Chain A
Amino acid sequence: MSPPAAADLGPCVYCPRLCRNVCPVAVGTGRESASPTAMATQVWLYLEGRTELKLALAAAALCVECGACEAICEVQQPLAHLLGDFRRALSPTGPQPLAQVEGEGALVAVEVDERRWAEALAARLGKPVARLRTEDHLGHDATGQPAWPAHLARLKAALRGRTAVVSEHRSLAVLTAAGVEAAHLLDQLGWSGAGVVHQPCAGPRLPGAPPALALACCGSRAALPSAHPDLAVQLAEDCGRRLYDERPSPEGPICSPDSTCARALREAGWTVEDPLSALLGGAEPPAPP
């Protein structure tokens, strides 16, 4: 895959920062460098040969690729894609090799961290549930890499005839791209988050839930946690504060349908409900590895 051309970023470089108000990273961190225009400008400067790759990659890694800027941009700039493509083209890490599906059953629990929940789901549903472990959300951040189409084909073959159950939205996006039948854990549990619901970036809205807060990114997506760990924490703090302030009642919980987001928010000190924790008996998840 090739990086975008400098001219592709031109509209954002000369834009008066018109989408900064919807960018969760710009708003959550409050940093000028995290405004979509500043990210685009730094990458543009590199593509014009006027700055270093290190800076351009650091700028592109600020983007969590939520697509909020694209959604409101009146000139239809695909900024999330441009920044993502740039990052992936110049710091390629392909998808990690797929693990084997373990166990029997028409349902496969996609386990993205050390929490093992296939058995708990099987007990809840009264039928066998297999598991598929992944440490990179089924290769979510390798979208567009040369290995990507073959990776999707392998995934499809591995899960043929089964339904993948996910507890977060990144692997759901990959499964959808691969054309694999997939369901969210919250549907399996009939879980409906009451209170204020964290809207995972680019994730589907929880059905029937109260209005979610669009501007709240927990900082756990794309390259942000690895490239800017301090900012990821700050985003989670800010996100939790916004959600907390917007609770419809003082007792109302903060809910997240995405277990990865919920974990990031918990690590920032917020009490958050999510379907996976509910399945695991409400127990706080173990500390990250």
Chain B
Amino acid sequence: MAIGYRGAMGDASLPCSTDRLELDALRRDLWPRQTLAMARGELPPAPAEVVWPRDAGEVRAALDRAQATGRAVVPYGAGSGVCGAASGREGALVIDLKRMNRVLELDAEARTVRVQPGLLGQHLEDWLARRGLMCGHSPSSIACSTVGGYAAARSAGQFSSRYGVFDDMLLAANLEAPSGTVRAGAWTPRGQEDLLPVLCGSEGALGVFSELLIRVVPLPERRWLRGYAFPNLVSAWTAMRGLLQAGLWPSVIRLYDPLDTRLNRSTRPPGPAATGRSLLSRMHALARRTPGLGAHLTDLPLAMPGLLNAVFGTLGSEVALILGFEGPEALVAAQVELAAPILEAARDLGPGPGERWFQHRHSVSYKLAPVFLGGGFADTMEVAATWSRLEGLHDAVRAAIGRHGLVMAHFSHAYPEGCSIYFSFAGKGELATYDALWQDALQAAAEAGGTVTHHHGVGPLKARAAAAEAGAAVRVWREIKGQVDPDGRMNPGRLFPDDQPEAPGPPPPDPDLGPVFAVDETSLLAEVDPAAPPSQVEAALRSRGLALRLRPDRALGPWLVAQRREALDSWECPVFAVQARFQDGASARIGPAPRSAAGPDLRRALLRRARAELVQVPVRRVDPDRPALLVQADPAAGDPRELRPAWRTPDQWAFEPDQRAIVEALGLSLTPASSRRAHGPRRSPTAPRERE
């Protein structure tokens, strides 16, 4: 039975319980290792107490209570995390946030919504849809995860290529921490450091999100989806990269490897819908229908994964890509036209595969249970890298997983600079096999230069791998954690373990090469001197036919430090890798992929605390003979936040020369181009708004 006690703040009675029914339910999140252990008769530990706060004041009261009783605190959203970050901890106080599930305020003009953290993603989208809006954040777990969980574990949804990952949508947050309230992002008090990038991905180890301000967009007027078959992965990657680097913003760009392509029958002509059933669930169904065959059907392949992976490897190399554009009708039509030449090498499969995927896009989650019921385990690993490293990363991780389990992959979060790889795998149900698989896979990902997690977060599963990825930058985390949670009460030990030795960092870049130390032409990224004036950087890039994508008004180092997310009114990634050196000579290089969920984003905080040696920033190809298309700003043609010109001022928008179809489709009138303007104004609305 629930009891209430007086909160330390005011006299509100804070609902709480020590009842076993309540505590049992908080033993596990959705880390498959725990599911497997449960199937084998073990249960993760139960916490000691649970509270259900209704507002920030009650969260504070709960933190005060933990302080008074000396308990560790585990914030709990919907427990859909797959890495164990919210799982049961003996003696802990769980703050279950699902009663904080209210939409607090919608600002339709600014296109923001203020919400409590325990709101389920699906409920937020339902609420917004009734008002013609959406966040565009659609993880497969949308029905069973909370917005606070998205921020805490740096979630990414199925439409991330157009709307960004959750980090990109989150404009401000309040976090209740043991030392007090942290106001971040757009709510950062003047003169204070904006800690929003560090709060995102903090996985409950700094405090409890109590309020979030999220970017919203109008529901799309048109949604276009189509399937394409490519002869092999490499040709499909080239097309994906081509689409994204041509300044198109697909809402969906999903590529399936040959096995996944076959299982989903994605390249076949339209027939009965393939509802995304996995190989194992089909085997399971067959086993049920054929008792003699029984469990062997599921047991056998899992017992011999190497053989089966090899057999599947011979099935052919054809792969399926699902491409989608959405937004204003004219813009969609123009993007489809611009995409056509890039897709020339592909076989057009028509709208069927895309529409089928859209209809069944959350069904994939039902695939898990049959595998566990059949005595095996199923799990997923999502890594990411720049385009230039993608193939190596794919081959290395696939080989590592394939030694222990049956593996297939798809590529679903793509950016101009790189892409994530989502491996699905299943194995025979032994914990030792599970652990060995993960250890090998994480090591392979790190060695291949990728991030160990694109969007599932860290938890005990990846704590060491994430700490290794951060290297000496973990010091930045520890400093901030020490200020915000001085007693180490918040979800201790799960994010970056305290006992891990610091990995040695890279040497400084060769100053003679500056201001542009290296260019990754495939991924369109340049490693530049953060202290060099932008004009020098631009000149050095121009000699290689490149230009900076964003337009700093001072050296990149200080510009990036001052950069604030809410200043970008549609999402863009201003910085990739960052390298900096601490006073004691230790260095750290972080940011191996366009997007990562390997703990918080420490890049800006690192630039503030250590001497920046190198920043890797996005660039675009420029041709002096083909200047940018400058047009008169025309709100009647559409909201520029939807149209996404390359840059804009209040009275002018600029599109890339290849985007002429967009300009024409929108009926925009070109202004006479000047060569200075063709490279964009020095200061644009996307430059940082300084408040620090």
Query: Which A residues are closer than 8 A to B by beta carbons?
Result: 7, 10-11, 13-22, 27, 29-33, 35, 38, 41-42, 50-51, 55, 58-59, 74-75, 230-231
Contact = CB atoms under 8 A, between A and B. Distances in A.
Contacts of B20: 55
A229 B362 CA distance: 35
A163 B2 CA distance: 44
B363 A30 contact: no
B78 A230 contact: no
Interface in B492-540: none
B25 A31 contact: yes
Contacts of A13: 38, 369
Contacts of B477: none
A32 B25 contact: yes
B21 A10 contact: no
Nearest to B86: A32
A-B pairs with lowest CB-CB distance, top 10: A30-B98, A30-B99, A14-B369, A33-B25, A38-B25, A32-B25, A14-B372, A21-B143, A17-B144, A21-B122
Nearest to B28: A41
22 contacts: A10-B373, A11-B369, A11-B373, A13-B369, A14-B39, A14-B372, A15-B365, A17-B144, A18-B143, A18-B362, A19-B143, A21-B122, A22-B143, A27-B120, A30-B100, A30-B118, A31-B52, A31-B98, A32-B98, A33-B24, A38-B25, A42-B25
Interface string B212-255: 00000000000000000000000000000000000000000000
A63 to B, nearest CB: 13
A16 B98 contact: no
Nearest to A234: B15
Nearest to A72: B143
A20 B99 CA distance: 14
Contacts of B141: 16
Interface in B13-57: 20-22, 24-26, 30, 35, 38-39, 41, 43, 50, 52
A16 B25 contact: no
Interface of B: 1-2, 20-22, 24-26, 30, 35, 38-39, 41, 43, 50, 52, 76, 78-80, 96, 98-101, 118, 120, 122-123, 141, 143-144, 275, 362-363, 365-366, 368-370, 372-373
A42 B24 contact: yes
A10 B22 contact: no
B370 to A, nearest CB: 8
Given A35-B25, A74-B363, A230-B2, A17 B79 contact: yes
A75 B22 contact: no
Given A21-B122, A42-B21, A14 B373 contact: yes
A16 B96 contact: no
A18 B21 contact: no
B96 A32 contact: yes
A116 to B, nearest CB: 35
A22 B101 CA distance: 14
A76 B80 CA distance: 21
Contact of A31 (B96, B143, B365, B368): B96
A16 B368 contact: yes
Nearest to B281: A75
Contacts of A11: 369-370, 373
A22 B362 CA distance: 15
Contact of A21 (B26, B118, B123): B123
A18 B96 contact: no
B96 A30 contact: yes
Contact of A14 (B35, B76, B120, B122): B35
Q: Which of the listed residues B52, B363, B369, B373 has the most CB atoms from chain A within 10 Å of its own CB?
A: B369
Given A11-B370, A16-B141, A21-B143, 19 more contacts: A10-B369, A17-B30, A18-B143, A18-B144, A18-B362, A21-B122, A30-B52, A30-B118, A32-B22, A32-B26, A32-B50, A32-B98, A33-B24, A38-B25, A41-B25, A55-B20, A55-B24, A230-B2, A231-B2
A14 B375 CA distance: 12
A14 B144 contact: no
A271 to B, nearest CB: 21
Contact of B369 (A15, A19, A32, A38): A15
B144 A16 contact: yes
Nearest to A11: B369
Contacts of B366: 15, 18, 74-75
B143 A20 contact: yes
A286 B20 CA distance: 37
B442 to A, nearest CB: 22
B22 A16 contact: no
A59 B50 CA distance: 17
A75 B369 contact: yes
Contacts of A19: 143
B287 to A, nearest CB: 14
Contacts of A10: 369, 372-373
Given A30-B52, A230-B2, A17 B78 contact: yes
Contacts of B24: 33, 38, 42, 51, 55
Nearest to A75: B366
A32 B21 contact: no
Contacts of A29: 99
B144 A20 contact: yes
B1 A16 contact: no
A17 B362 CA distance: 12
B519 to A, nearest CB: 43
A208 to B, nearest CB: 20
A18 B76 contact: no
A17 B80 contact: yes
A225 B372 CA distance: 35
Nearest to B372: A14
B292 to A, nearest CB: 19
B341 to A, nearest CB: 39
A9 B52 CA distance: 28
A15 B1 CA distance: 27
A289 to B, nearest CB: 23
A85 B118 CA distance: 32
A38 B23 CA distance: 11
A18 B365 contact: yes
B362 to A, nearest CB: 8
Contacts of B365: 15-16, 18
B396 to A, nearest CB: 28
A52 to B, nearest CB: 9
Nearest to B94: A32
B368 A14 contact: yes
A20 B78 contact: yes
A54 B22 CA distance: 13
Nearest to B36: A14
Contacts of A32: 22, 25-26, 50, 76, 79, 96, 98
Contacts of B122: 21
Contacts of B144: 16-18, 20-21
A230 B13 CA distance: 14
A11 B144 CA distance: 16
Contacts of A27: 101, 120, 123
A197 B141 CA distance: 30
Q: Which of the listed residues A16, A17, A74 has the most CB atoms from chain B within 10 Å of its own CB?
A: A16
B427 to A, nearest CB: 15
Contacts of A31: 22, 25, 52, 96, 98
B118 A230 contact: no
Contacts of B50: 32
Contacts of B21: 33, 42, 55, 58-59
Nearest to B20: A55
A7 B122 CA distance: 30
A18 B142 CA distance: 9
Nearest to A56: B21
Contacts of A16: 30, 80, 141, 144, 365, 368
Contacts of A22: 143
Given A14-B35, A17-B80, A18-B143, A33 B22 contact: yes
A251 B98 CA distance: 29
A284 to B, nearest CB: 27
